[in-house]
Amino acid sequence: MPRRYDPDRRQRIIDAALRVVAEHGIAGLSHRTAAAEADVPLGSTTYHFASLDELLVAALRQAGESFAAAVATSEALTDAGRDLATDLARLMGRWIAGDRTAVELEYELYLAALRRPALRPVAAEWTDTVAAALTHRTDPATARALVALMDGLCLQVLLTGGQYDEAHAREMLRRLIP
């Protein structure tokens, strides 16, 4: 039987893995659950991702793109006349208020790097990308501090189930920006 050409299969598997993790957590992800969710043969997941860590790396890379892209394309970085603290606080608010499940998923995968060393380089890429974008408006050390603060503020909201306080975030960001 000839092999069916399916150029989108790898991407469908990544998307399926994200849905599985969103619904069942990382512990619920396996090659088998990803294959079932993607409606592909089990062998397809192991063909594209030799290990579960490889699949998690691809999933984290994709999940982490949303906030980094939002920061990188923000007018706050290209217009020196804009208030960076206000723009970043607003950006975080929009991100958290958007698809909360996607934000939680992104952080779940990000924090999985604590126990899965294979994920650490991707987590570092995320922080490096956001920090690099922020260096258009500030020095590298301040950019790293801003990333850490934004991470902390977002995690507090997610972990406590609280509401995002844009005014508080703006004030905290202002304290770091020279």
Name the residue ranges covered by the structural domains of the chain. Answer: 9-61, 64-176
Taking the C-alpha atoms of 104, 106, 68 and 31 in order, what is their torsion angle to the nearest 10 degrees? -160
Residue with more model confidence, 79 or 2: 79
CATH 1.10.10.60 fits 9-61, yes or no: yes
CATH 1.10.357.10 fits 64-176, yes or no: yes
CA of residue 1 relative to chain centroid, distance: 40
- Place 145 in a pLDDT band, splitting at 50, 70 and 90: very high
**Looking at residue 2, what is its pLDDT?**
47
Let me know: does 131 contact 122? Beta carbons within 8 Å. no
pTM (predicted TM-score): 0.84
Let me know: does 142 contact 177? Beta carbons within 8 Å. yes
Lowest mean pLDDT among 1-5, 65-69, 130-134, 159-163: 1-5
